[in-house]
Every structure is written in structure tokens, then in C-alpha cells.
């Protein structure tokens, strides 16, 4: 039994351990400094460096502590003369073939132990160096790292980091004996499948593998501070430790031991942050005068904005104004922005990029299970028995979540990939379903036909947890009756045997999760696709328990948070509909405004806002950190609409494709220059911390919003720090009710967390769904042939997708040499 407590003795000191614990780890956790270089608690033990030798009473000889699993009481000797002498001898061997020179750019555990054992000075060592005879292979072909065999102690940590943590299997040893060295792929790093995640670098103990970017300038003794924060790229929300030197980020490490990444990063989080100190950052407000942008003071810019917006409101009403908030900004920025739109403009015309990616998924999830957020935790991707990934290129879009998926695969869990095009995850899939574009509903209905026919339906779950229970199930059953595997194959082109196998695999797994994505939602039938998926989940009872449910990983870093805090035309902070009178009264009291001043009318979505601008009904817009001139589906239409606006403000950190259409451009702060929070894909509220000063006159987004509000005679709150905004947000949005900055100082909390005592919610829907009666709803949908069919005139279907090295509109990722080197 893993949890059984055992008392062991280490150098006569009694220590409590649990059965199954690693002896070396237990010793170190109890502050016993057992030497060792090849062990890392994230990796399986190797026993390669032989520094952790110990004696265990009753066992012959010495053993490596890192290879011992505690399963019975034991008496261990860590330090005695014989063991210390053996360690010193081992270090002597390692140092004889080691290059001691250092450029002070990496932390060197071997040098640390050499000093402890008085071997720093070569004169004090037992053996002369044989380094020149061995020869030190070097590889500096990777854009992001260098390898130097002269510093390599062959500890296996990099190989295991690549295999066991990141699941990539790129590294191995070449050659034999003391001339062996680490090789990526068949030979050179640049020719290998290495995608630059840098896990190997982070876990290398000796400086054999070192980051390449900033190596020329980085010096350990010049590092001013190390700041923990949250990655600004995707919705995984990886925890970073930024190393700051000379006012710049010179290194980014993953933070070990905390969710969601436990030290893991992808190439963007580790090597993609140079955009912050790009010389192209916006540094001063710009006002367009006679068609040319000229620098302006903040007062001039803010006064102009307030005057113009106020005039439009007075002349055309608040509904003639609209705002786009940003999935890249913090919750605090977004909260202030929606408050501004609702209080200063007096409208609910607020939306952002989520409308064009996740809205159909969220719509289906809200109607079926009452919540659009992911059910599970990111770590659950490693432990669910079966993962069904559909329309989601997870390895490139959410690389660290994908590492957990691969961990699960290596642990024997099953993966079904459903995608018309090949994605890297196909290599790991047990079954790859490759339906014709637009036939998802047909495929899912076909799978449900098999599930029903083979008696794999979870009847108790349907009776207890689904609205109208078996009655609604019967309707679904009738609907899919005709969808036999053969019929489904005809429509989808997926062989019927695969349809049957996938249906069995998903339905009969003890636990199964669905990872859906843009491929499913960005279709005319997007909402129906997700309804079908949820139907399959509900009739098999693959939700409402740990490691089961539906998870649409969020694209950008704070897509989840921006909606959570109310950047939506139909909901207030905390997902409460704008027409809920009681909530409006409650919010009006918190915001200290008359309830009548808060509109109960649903606002316009992004698509509707652009259409209304085109129709000259929207006259003024405020865009914070969005780039519709690249993200909108019909750019000609968007361009015409933006040109028709009387007044446009764009607030960003760079010039974008949208800024040329602005009347005023405001320079904002990047993630590294402000305090705040993001919410990641598993609803985890994570801290963002200020590591750097803003360039030039740039300001924090929420602060700019607050200032415009003040000039429009609207009091958005006398906030001086982001934490004050969070505290108000926690009052306004009950899902954050129990969270504050103190509670998330060390690790994030997953909402809902309604009270100060609540630990947060790891898995949604375990007891009930978020619908009015607590039950889920089946929404049977029939297959309808795709509207976007090839024609003679347009014979191709173009399908968009992501690559690992680029992000969103590439505003940030394009400004990094390392990412560009990989992308090209």
C-alpha cells in the first residue's frame, strides 16, 4: 500500500516515510544532503553517477539511495568514512574527463560537489585530466541550446527529461565508454526532431547543455532578480521563473513542483519572451493628425478619447459604442475594461476573440451541462484511461498539456484522435479517425449507434443525471438508429471497423476525457458538432467523476479569464446573464451606481459589432489588445467597417495590422511589466508578477481604462494596485469569491472557489451540473451536409491550423529570433 507510514532511520535519525517513497528523496526532503547528480525527482532513477551510495543494515555492500524504494523499516548509513571516500573517488573519476572551464552562465552541480569534497583545485585531484585524449564533441547547431560533451557526465537526466517528461524521445547516447556523448536524432541537433522545449537544459546538472539565447550577456553574478509569473502565450498557464539582468529577461525556467506544468515548458514559454524588450514596442501615445500618427502626451490623448467617446454617446446613445477586450490581458485589465464599457458607454457591446473560436463550443456546453469551462485538471490528461481528441492539434497548440497526454500513453492509457488531417498526436494514437471535413455529427452519431447497439450505455447515469432521463435517451436512440457503421462509413469515409473500435474504446473505458478544439467548433455546424460529442459523453456516463469530462483547451493565455470576468455581451462577471435583475442590482451596489444605469439588453458580439460598424450604427470603438484586422474572417469587410467608424482607439504593446485604422494608439504594458492574474484552461487562477519596468511612457491597461473613465466622469474605483481590483472582482463574480492574492501566492486555485475556506474545484460536475435543475441535457442532432462544399469555381477546401512556433497573430512570437529560426 503506497500510503502506509514507515519509520526509517538515516544516520540514526528517525524519519517518517511512506511505503513506495524514494530513499534519496526522503533523505533530501529531511534536509540530509546526500550527494547525487543523476537523480531528479521528476525522473525514474538511473543509478548512474554513484554519488548517492549508502549502506542499508542487513544488505550486502553499498547501494545507490536513488534506486531504493522504501517498502519496509530500514536503518541507513549515509555518511561514514568509507562512503565519503567512495564518493570522493567517484568525483575524481568524473573530474578527470571533465572540462572545468565555465563562463558563469549556468548552475553547475558537479562544481558544487567538487568544492564540497575539496576537489575544485585540479592539484588536489587523484588523476590528471584525460579530457584532451577523450576529445569533447560539441553541437551548437540548435537555435536554442548548445551541447558540450566535455562537461557531460553521462547522467541520463537529459534523455529521461526528453522521454519521460516531454515524451519526445529525441535524445540518446552515441559511441561507447568514455567517448560516448549525447546525440539528438541521428547526429546534429538542428537535423533532429527537437522542438526546443529546453527540458533537457533545465535538468542538466553540469552545463553540458546550456541555453543559447542571451548566453553572451548572461552572467550568474549579474542576475538582479528571479521573478515567478505565468506564461503569456497559451492557455496551459505554465509557471515561469524569469531571470532579470540589465532590465531584460535573460532566461526563463519552468517552476518545478507546482501545477499546471511542474517545471515543463514549451519553446515559446522558455525562449519566446524577447518580444518584451523589442525596440518596436509602443512607448508613447500617438494621435492621428492629417492621416499621420504623431506623438502626444497622455493628457492630450486621454482627453481627446474621453471627449470623442462622450460626444458619440451623447449624440447616438451608448449602444453606438463598443469595445473589444483582450485574451492576452490580465483579469484585472479585462474586469476594468468591461466595467468601463458598461458604466461609461452604458452598453453591453463588449466581446473579444473567443467569439471566433470557442463560442460554438461554449454555447453547446452551456445548453447541455450549464458551463463552458473544462471539467478536468491538466494533469488528468496523463491519468484518464481514454482520451478522445477531436479537432485539436494539441501537441502544437497546448504543448505542455500534450506532454501529459504522452505520459498517459506511455502508462498504457488509450488515445483516439479524430481529425481529417494528420497532426503530430496521430503518432501516439491507438485509433485515428479521419472523417471527411464537416461530417463530425455523422461520425459521432455512428459511434453512438454502436454504443447503444452493444449495450455500452450507462443507464443509471442517464436516469439520475440527465434531464428527462431515459425518455430523452429514447429520442436520441431513434435518431441514430439509421446510423449504422456501414452507413456512417459512406458519409464520413471512416472505415466501419474503426468506428466500432473507437466507440467501444471510449464507452467501455473506466474513465474517458474529451479534448475538443477549433477543428470541431469552427464550422457552420460547430454547435451541433459539440452537442453530438456531449451526447456521446452523457449516454456513456463519461462525466461527473474524476478524470472524465470535456475539456476544450483555451487558446490564448487568458481566454478563460476574460469571459470569467464578464467580457461578454450577454453575461456579467461570473457568468450571470445581463438580464438577471437581482444580479444587476447586486453588481450596481458593488459598483456604486444606480441599477438603471446598467443595461439589461444583450450587447453585440464581435461579428455583430463589425457588421454594425459597417452599417454605421456603431460609431466609436475601443480595442484593447486585439487585432481584428488579422483575426476576423472577412478582412475586406472588417477594413471597410473600421474605416467607417467616427473614432477608434487601439491600445496595444506593438503596432498591429489594426493600429493603422486607429485615431489614437495607446502604449500598454506586457505581461512581464504588471501585477495581475490569468485563468488557464483548467480554471486555475494564476498570478502574473511584475518583473520589468514598462518601456517609455507605456502604462498598465487597467490604469489607462481607469483614466479614460475618470475623464468621462465615471468612477471605476479608486484602485492603486491590481490586487484591489481582484478583491472587487471576487465580490462581483461568485466563482472567485474565496480567492485573493495571498491564497494564490504559491500556487493557483481552480474556480469555483466560493468561500475563503474552499480549496477550489479540481473536477466539475461531480455532484451536479450547472443547469437550473442540476441535470445535463441531451440535444440530439441529425447530420446535415456541410455548407462549405467545394465547387467548380472554388475547388479546394482550405483548412487553417497552428504551428508550435507562432502564436495568435504573431504580434509577440514573430519578435523572437529563436521562434523565428524554428518557424523558418
Rounded distance, CA 775 to CA 461, Å? 10
- Is there binding between residue 424 and ligand FES (CB under 6 A)? no
Q: At 463, give phi and psi (nearest 5°).
A: -65, -40
Residue 36's closest CA among 44, 47, 26? Answer: 47
Q: Which of 17, 23, 37, 327 binds ligand FES (CB under 6 A)?
A: 37
> Is residue 43 close enough to count as binding ligand FES by CB under 6 A?
no
Q: Could you tell me the three cell numbers for 462?
A: 442517464
CA 209 to chain centroid, in Å, comes to 26
What's the closest the beta carbon of residue 50 comes to ligand FES, in angstroms?
5
- Residue 38 or 321: which CB sits closer to ligand FES? 38
Binding-site partner at residue 400 among ligand FES, ligand SF4, none, CB < 5 to 8 Å by type: ligand SF4
Instruction: From residue 219, give the alpha-carbon distance in Å to each of 31, 223, 243, 517.
Output: 29, 7, 11, 42
The three cell numbers locating residue 623? 480595442
The 10 Å Cβ neighbour count of residue 55 is 18
CB of 699 to ligand SF4, least distance (A): 25
- Does position 10 interact with ligand FES (CB under 6 A)? The reply is no
Q: Select from ligand SF4, ligand FES, none the partner in contact with residue 39, using the beta carbon and a kind-dependent cut-off of 5 to 8 Å.
A: ligand FES
Whether residue 260 has a cis bond before it, omega within 30° of 0 = yes
Please give the Cα distance from 247 to 224 (Å, whole number).
Answer: 8
Judged by CB, which is closer to ligand SF4: 231, or 536?
Answer: 231
- Evaluate whether 323 touches 345 at the Cβ level (below 8 Å): yes
Q: Which does 47 bind (CB under 5 to 8 A by kind): ligand FES, ligand SF4, none?
A: ligand FES
Distance, in Å, from the CA atom of 5 to the CA atom of 16, rounded to the nearest integer, reads 7
26 binds ligand FES (CB under 6 A): no
479 binds, among ligand FES, ligand SF4, none (CB under 5 to 8 A by kind): none
| Least separation in angstroms between CB 133 and ligand SF4 | 19
CB of 182 to ligand SF4, least distance (A): 5
User: Smallest gap, in angstroms, from Cβ of residue 112 to ligand SF4?
Assistant: 14
Longest CA pairwise span in the chain (Å) = 91
The residue with its CB nearest to ligand SF4 is: 269
- Contact between residue 157 and residue 204 where contact means Cβ atoms under 8 Å apart: yes
Cell digits of residue 53: 551510495
For cell 471597410, the residue is: 640
Instruction: Please state the separation of Cα 688 from the chain's center in Å.
Output: 14
Q: Which residues neighbour 431 within 8 Å (Cβ) at sequence distance 6 or greater?
A: 415, 416, 417, 498, 501, 502, 505
Name residue 323's beta-bridge partners.
Answer: 350, 622
- Compare residues 206 and 670 and give the one whose CB is closer to ligand SF4: 206
Question: Which residues form the interface with ligand SF4 (CB under 6 A)?
Answer: 152-158, 182, 204, 206, 208-209, 231, 233-234, 236-238, 261, 265-266, 268-269, 398-400
Which of 10, 23, 27, 66: binder of ligand FES (CB under 6 A)?
66
- Name which position in 23, 43, 64, 165 contacts ligand FES (CB under 6 A): 64
182 contact, one of ligand FES, ligand SF4, none, CB 5-8 Å limit per kind: ligand SF4
> Are 147 and 158 contacting, i.e. CB atoms less than 8 angstroms apart?
no
Q: Which of 21, 27, 36, 153 is the binder for ligand FES (CB under 6 A)?
A: 36
Nearer to ligand FES, 38 or 653 (CB): 38
DSSP state for residue 421 in the 8-state scheme: S
Shortest Cβ 152–ligand SF4 spacing (Å): 3
- Smallest gap from Cβ 764 to ligand SF4, in A, equals 21
Judged by CB under 6 A, does residue 47 bind ligand FES?
A: yes
Q: Does residue 38 belong to the site contacting ligand FES (CB under 6 A)?
A: yes
Say whether residue 51 binds ligand FES (CB under 6 A). Answer: yes
81-95 as b/e: b if 16+ CB within 10 A: eebeeebbebbbebb
Q: How far apart are the first and last CA of the chain?
A: 51
Q: Which of 39, 106, 275, 783 binds ligand FES (CB under 6 A)?
A: 39
Smallest gap from residue 231 Cβ to ligand SF4 (A): 3
Choice between 23 and 182, CB closer to ligand SF4: 182
3-state SS, residue 418: strand
Which option in ligand SF4, ligand FES, none does residue 269 bind, with CB closer than 5 to 8 A by kind?
A: ligand SF4
In sequence order, the 6+-apart residues with CB closer than 8 A to the CB of 24 are 34, 36, 39, 45, 52, 65, 66, 68
Q: Which is nearer to ligand FES, 51 or 509 (CB)?
A: 51
CB of 240 to ligand SF4, least distance (A): 7
Query: Which partner in ligand SF4, ligand FES, none is near 153 (CB below 5 to 8 A by kind)?
Result: ligand SF4
DSSP tag of 162? I
- Retrieve residue 579's grid coordinates: 438580464
Any contact of residue 50 with ligand FES (CB under 6 A)? yes
Q: Considering beta carbons, is residue 164 or 489 the nearer one to ligand FES? A: 164
Is the Cβ of residue 119 or residue 447 nearer to ligand FES in the bound state? 119
| Residue 49 within binding range of ligand FES, rule CB under 6 A | yes
d(CA 715, CA 729): 16
The alpha carbons of the chain give a radius of gyration, in whole angstroms, of: 29
Give whichever of 637 and 817 is closer to ligand SF4, judged by the CB atom: 817
Rounded to the nearest 5 degrees, what angle is found at the Cα of 105, between the Cα atoms of 103 and 108?
Answer: 90
Give the count of residues interacting with ligand FES (CB under 6 A). Answer: 12
The answer to the question of residue 716 lying near ligand FES (CB under 6 A) is no
Which residues face 239 on adjacent strands? 230
Q: Which residues bind ligand FES (CB under 6 A)?
A: 36-39, 47-52, 64, 66
Amino acid at each position: 500500500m503506497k500510503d502506509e507510514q514507515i519509520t526509517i532511520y538515516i544516520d540514526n535519525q528517525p524519519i517518517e516515510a511512506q511505503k513506495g517513497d524514494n530513499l534519496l528523496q526522503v533523505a533530501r526532503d529531511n534536509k540530509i544532503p546526500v550527494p547525487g547528480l543523476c537523480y531528479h525527482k521528476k525522473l525514474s532513477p538511473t543509478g548512474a553517477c554513484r554519488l548517492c551510495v549508502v549502506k542499508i543494515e542487513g544488505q550486502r555492500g553499498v547501494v545507490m539511495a536513488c534506486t531504493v524504494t522504501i517498502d519496509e523499516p530500514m536503518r541507513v548509513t549515509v555518511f561514514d568514512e568509507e562512503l565519503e571516500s567512495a564518493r570522493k573517488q567517484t568525483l575524481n573519476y568524473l573530474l578527470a574527463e571533465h572540462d572545468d572551464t565555465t563562463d558563469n552562465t549556468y548552475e553547475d552541480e558537479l562544481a558544487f560537489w567538487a568544492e564540497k569534497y575539496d576537489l575544485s583545485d585540479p592539484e588536489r585531484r587523484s588523476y590528471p585530466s584525460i579530457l584532451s585524449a577523450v576529445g569533447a564533441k560539441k553541437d551548437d547547431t540548435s537555435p536554442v541550446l548548445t551541447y558540450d560533451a566535455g562537461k557531460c557526465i553521462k547522467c541520463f537526466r537529459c534523455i529521461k527529461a526528453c522521454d519521460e517528461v516531454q515524451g519526445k524521445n529525441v535524445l540518446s547516447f552515441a559511441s561507447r565508454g568514455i567517448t560516448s556523448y549525447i546525440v539528438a536524432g541521428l547526429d546534429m541537433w538542428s537535423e533532429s526532431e527537437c522542438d526546443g522545449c529546453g527540458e533537457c537544459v533545465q535538468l542538466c546538472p553540469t552545463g553540458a547543455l546550456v541555453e543559447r539565447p542571451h548566453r553572451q550577456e548572461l552572467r550568474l553574478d549579474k542576475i538582479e532578480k528571479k521573478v515567478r509569473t505565468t506564461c503569456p502565450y497559451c492557455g496551459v498557464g505554465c509557471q515561469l521563473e524569469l531571470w532579470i539582468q540589465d532590465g531584460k529577461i535573460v532566461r526563463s525556467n519552468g517552476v518545478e513542483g507546482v501545477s499546471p506544468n511542474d517545471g515543463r515548458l514549451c519553446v515559446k514559454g522558455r525562449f519566446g519572451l524577447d518580444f518584451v524588450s523589442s525596440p518596436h514596442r509602443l512607448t508613447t501615445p500617438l494621435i492621428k493628425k492629417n492621416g499621420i500618427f504623431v506623438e502626444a502626451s497622455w493628457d492630450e490623448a486621454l482627453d481627446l478619447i474621453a471627449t470623442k467617446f462622450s460626444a458619440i454617446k451623447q449624440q447616438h446613445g451608448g449602444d453606438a459604442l463598443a469595445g473589444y477586450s483582450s485574451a492576452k490581458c490580465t483579469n484585472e485589465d479585462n474586469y476594468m475594461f468591461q466595467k468601463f464599457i458598461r458604466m461609461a458607454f452604458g452598453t453591453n457591446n463588449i466581446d473579444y476573440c473567443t467569439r471566433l473560436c470557442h463560442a460554438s463550443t461554449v454555447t453547446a456546453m452551456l445548453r447541455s451541462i450549464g458551463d463552458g469551462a473544462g471539467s478536468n485538471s491538466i494533469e488528468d490528461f496523463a491519468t484518464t484511461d481514454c482520451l478522445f481528441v477531436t479537432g485539436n492539434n494539441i501537441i502544437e497548440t497546448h504543448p505542455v498539456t500534450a506532454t501529459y497526454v504522452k505520459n498517459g500513453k506511455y502508462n498504457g492509457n488509450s488515445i483516439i484522435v479524430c481529425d481529417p488531417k494528420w497532426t503530430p498526436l496521430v503518432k501516439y494514437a491507438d485509433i485515428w479517425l479521419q472523417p471527411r471535413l464537416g461530417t463530425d455529427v455523422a461520425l459521432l452519431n455512428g459511434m453512438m449507434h454502436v454504443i447503444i447497439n452493444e449495450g455500452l450505455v450507462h443507464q443509471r447515469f442517464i436516469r439520475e443525471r440527465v434531464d428527462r432521463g431515459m425518455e430523452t435517451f429514447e429520442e436520441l436512440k431513434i435518431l441514430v438508429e439509421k446510423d449504422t457503421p456501414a452507413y456512417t462509413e459512406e458519409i464520413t469515409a471512416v472505415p466501419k471497423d474503426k468506428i466500432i473500435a473507437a466507440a467501444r474504446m471510449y464507452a467501455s473505458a473506466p474513465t474517458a476525457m474529451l479534448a475538443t478544439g477549433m477543428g470541431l467548433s469552427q464550422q457552420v455546424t460547430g454547435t451541433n458538432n459539440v452537442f453530438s460529442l456531449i451526447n456521446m459523453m452523457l449516454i456513456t456516463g463519461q462525466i461527473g467523476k474524476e478524470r472524465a469530462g470535456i475539456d476544450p483547451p483555451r487558446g490564448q493565455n487568458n481566454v478563460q479569464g476574460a469571459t470569467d470576468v464578464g467580457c461578454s455581451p450577454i453575461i456579467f462577471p461570473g457568468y450571470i446573464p445581463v438580464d438577471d435583475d437581482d444580479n444587476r442590482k447586486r453588481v450596481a451596489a458593488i459598483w456604486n451606481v444606480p441599477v438603471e444605469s446598467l443595461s439589461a439588453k444583450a450587447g453585440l458580439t464581435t461579428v455583430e459589432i463589425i457588421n454594425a460598424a459597417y452599417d454605421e450604427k456603431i460609431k466609436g470603438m475601443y480595442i484593447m489588445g486585439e487585432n481584428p484586422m488579422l483575426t476576423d474572417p472577412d478582412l475586406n469587410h472588417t477594413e471597410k467597417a473600421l474605416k467607417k467608424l467616427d473614432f477608434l482607439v487601439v491600445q496595444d504593446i506593438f503596432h498591429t495590422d489594426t493600429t493603422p485604422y486607429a485615431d489614437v494608439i495607446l502604449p500598454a504594458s506586457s505581461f512581464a511589466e504588471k501585477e495581475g492574474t490569468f485563468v488557464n484552461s483548467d480554471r486555475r487562477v494564476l498570478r502574473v508578477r511584475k518583473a520589468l519596468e514598462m518601456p517609455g511612457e507605456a502604462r498598465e491597461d487597467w490604469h489607462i481604462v481607469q483614466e479614460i473613465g475618470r475623464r468621462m466622469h465615471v468612477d471605476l474605483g479608486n484602485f492603486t494596485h491590481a490586487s484591489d481590483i481582484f478583491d472587487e472582482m471576487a465580490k462581483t463574480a461568485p466563482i472567485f469569491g474565496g480567492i485573493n492574492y495571498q491564497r494564490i501566492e504559491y500556487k493557483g486555485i481552480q474556480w469555483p472557489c466560493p468561500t475563503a475556506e474552499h480549496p477550489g474545484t479540481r473536477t466539475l460536475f461531480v455532484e451536479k451540473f450547472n443547469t437550473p435543475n442540476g441535470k445535463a441535457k441531451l440535444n440530439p442532432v441529425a447530420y446535415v451536409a456541410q455548407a462549405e462544399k467545394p465547387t467548380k469555381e472554388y475547388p479546394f477546401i482550405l483548412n487553417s491550423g497552428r504551428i508550435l512556433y507562432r502564436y495568435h497573430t504573431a504580434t509577440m512570437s514573430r519578435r523572437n529570433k529563436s521562434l523565428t529560426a524554428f518557424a523558418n
